Structure 1
């Protein structure tokens, strides 16, 4: 299933991988790859690839979606030397690579982008047994991108943070799997606060720790008067 919002087509390909395509032809991928979601995928049609943090950095996934002139935007903390499953730094990829902090606004061609912090609060609900966060502050970001007048926002692997309630966006692409990020209950409350024009949940049911009741989430959000679309991953 594909979700279309105004002039933008939204495809959730699995895990955290989202493809956005505007009516004018611009194509953006967020966090492409991992856990086999792109194993049979060779589109190489992306103008822009966004990588929020090390857990979602997949050089082969990027190669499967990016065309030769693509720009790859990666959070500044992503370091292949700290990731056991990859040995290629972002700057070694055959694309133009830009590093970003978690508090930037910028323009790339016809696309407006911004980043937000993405992290788990120490001692919060999404931490290890000793209270340390799975995603410490400073190691990742969320991305907002405006394509053909539609602003889509992927918070990244994060708790709900105060900054989220201050954003003016059209489409919210939240993680709802819990365990390492905000869960479906957190996101339902956040959607009521943010009041986006549409919610398309992602980052759930990839493996056991991300299992959730997506149908219950849809009902919860809909009861709050926020439009929600349940996108089935392509894989």
Structure 2
């Protein structure tokens, strides 16, 4: 059943997009060399291009977030920490011609599917960043021990002025080093809450549906900005994201994981409408890929 379902999903999307698209199965070889050969966005060692989306210094006293499309973000804190979330930097919505971040302190990977692991290894090799995620996933990535920061839900880590908390997500997680290798169990999926000194508290949910414990995340950490998927199909759609926003009690939602492929049909406008219908006060902040936005 599982094999047949995967074949149906892949076959349907192949007919629309001409690329493989199934959770846990890379749409292109995952090696840095192959990524460079199959994408215009970024070779493995960091492309040469316009100085955009690089993670240059944040404006004084501000936290800056740059969306790289899909679920990939680079966040810069007032204290100089640079955090990369789910760095699929060669996704179809990534800013074309942008150079990869020159310096990254921490890479946070929510789960093992190809569209979230992305270029984690290449970016870690380029910047010497430490990589945070589930113990099982980090063990599968083959990183040097000094860069491997595997943990589990409930774990807390300090990166300069950013305190990172691992929280739960409702999804699945498997990892393939390349399309020809078997999938491996990659631990439980996770989200991340990042408390920034003199800045906002961010919540990157990873791939998830809404779940009641989002209210516990609100009570424990009081996030102010949530990065939430809205595309549907594999994650929340706009209506579910509106419910999540209410559970989290956040002031702002930054939509992610939408529009990358035809199957991800949710839109920021639909999220705004869902929040309005529910009489919510949360504001929607759509980001333009490659543009650093102060929070």
TM-score by length of 1: 0.77
Unpaired stretches in structure 2, ≥5 consecutive residues: 1-52, 54-58, 173-184
Runs of 4+ that moved beyond 6 A: none
| Alpha-carbon distance in structure 1 between the residues aligned to 2:243 and 2:79 | 34
What is the alpha-carbon distance in structure 1 between the residues aligned to residue 265 and residue 144 of structure 2? 33
3-state DSSP class of the match of 1:146? Answer: strand
Q: Structure 2 matches for 1:51-90, cutoff 5 A?
A: 51-55=109-113, 56-58=116-118, 60-64=119-123, 68-78=127-137, 89-90=140-141
Asked if 1:145 corresponds to 2:199, the answer is no
Whole-Å separation in 1 of the counterparts to 2:271 and 2:124: 30
Aligned counterparts of 1:73 and 1:105: Cα–Cα separation in 2: 11
Residue 204 of structure 1: aligned partner? 258
Distance across 1 between alignment mates of 2:131 and 2:138: 15
How far apart are 1:66 and its partner, in Å? 7.0
1:6-155 maps to which residues of 2 (within 5 A)? 7-33=62-88, 35-36=91-92, 37=94, 40=97, 41-55=99-113, 56-58=116-118, 60-64=119-123, 68-78=127-137, 89-92=140-143, 96-120=147-171, 138-148=187-197, 149-155=199-205
Closer, same or farther: CA 105–38 of 1 in aligned 2, 3 Å? same
Which ranges in structure 1 are unaligned for 5 or more consecutive residues? 81-88, 122-135
Q: Deviations over 1:93-141 (max 9, x none)?
A: 59611101123223233321111122249xxxxxxxxxxxxxx995311
Q: Secondary structure at the match of 2:275?
A: helix
Two-structure CA RMSD over aligned residues (Å)? 3.1
Residues 66 and 175 of structure 1, relative CA distance in 2, 3 Å threshold: farther
Between structures 1 and 2, the one with greater helix share:
2
Structure 2-normalised TM-score? 0.62
| Bigger strand share | 1
CA 190–68 in structure 1, closer or farther in 2 if over 3 Å, else same: closer
Bigger radius of gyration among the two:
2
Distance 1:147 1:65, change over 3 A: farther
Q: How many residues align?
A: 210
Q: Deviations over 1:57-102 (max 9, x none)?
A: 13x345347753421112223278xxxxxxxx42335961110112
